[in-house]
A and B are shown apart, each in its own frame.
Chain A
Amino acid sequence: EAGVAQSPRYKIIEKRQSVAFWCNPISGHATLYWYQQILGQGPKLLIQFQNNGVVDDSQLPKDRFSAERLKGVDSTLKIQPAKLEDSAVYLCASSPTVSSGIYEQYFGPGTRLTVT
């Protein structure tokens, strides 16, 4: 079974530029998550999708961050314009539905963003 795919793996941009990250979840997983992991901290949930609908985006800085999950499969996370404090690893994860009883999130390798 293929895992969660993310691209690019690394990105360096200047502040005020825009950037986009892509995630392809495990086939058949209804739920997709984007996390931000700042160096030295645990991952923080930015947004959660159930199929192509948003379940939780309470911690997404909506003035600069946006995300979509077209057709309920892959997803993109965009930052525009980027700030220095956005430097972090952006992790994508997916999981089956709660009704499956699996209760596990499967993580991709992440995209390391450096804003200079």
Chain B
Amino acid sequence: AQSVTQLGSHVSVSEGALVLLRCNYSSSVPPYLFWYVQYPNQGLQLLLKYTSAATLVKGINGFEAEFKKSETSFHLTKPSAHMSDAAEYFCAVSDVNFGNEKLTFGTGTRLTIIP
């Protein structure tokens, strides 16, 4: 079964500092990987996705993630944090390769931005 592990349930960074949210995956086949963001009282919004094309994936709001097969990682980064980035971030894996779009989510990382 596929799974993802998010290291750190809470991350705090200063405004303007680098944001790094960690995600490691477990999959028996080449995975499709996603990062979603959830603002308070809202649904999830897709930030970016890896679907076996370029290993460095750029998403919305200045976020990007790099797929590293050797490390089984898909960490999310942003060079300079903004107050509006405060939210909960979820990494997810899908076995789309077999025609099934089921997403398995990590437990989430709450990002706090310090003014």
CA separation between A4 and B43, bound complex, in Å?
A: 10
A104 B102 Cβ-Cβ under 8 A: no
B108 A41 Cβ-Cβ under 8 A: yes
B43 A103 Cβ-Cβ under 8 A: no
Instruction: Tell me if A75 counts as interface (CB < 8 A to partner B).
Output: no
B102 A110 Cβ-Cβ under 8 A: no
Report A50-89 residues with CB < 8 Å from chain B CB: 55-56
Instruction: Tell me if A31 counts as interface (CB < 8 A to partner B).
Output: yes
16 extra A-B contacts, CB within 8 A, seeds A103-B49, A105-B46, A107-B43 = A33-B103, A42-B90, A43-B90, A43-B103, A45-B102, A45-B103, A48-B101, A56-B102, A91-B43, A95-B101, A98-B99, A104-B49, A107-B36, A107-B44, A109-B41, A110-B43
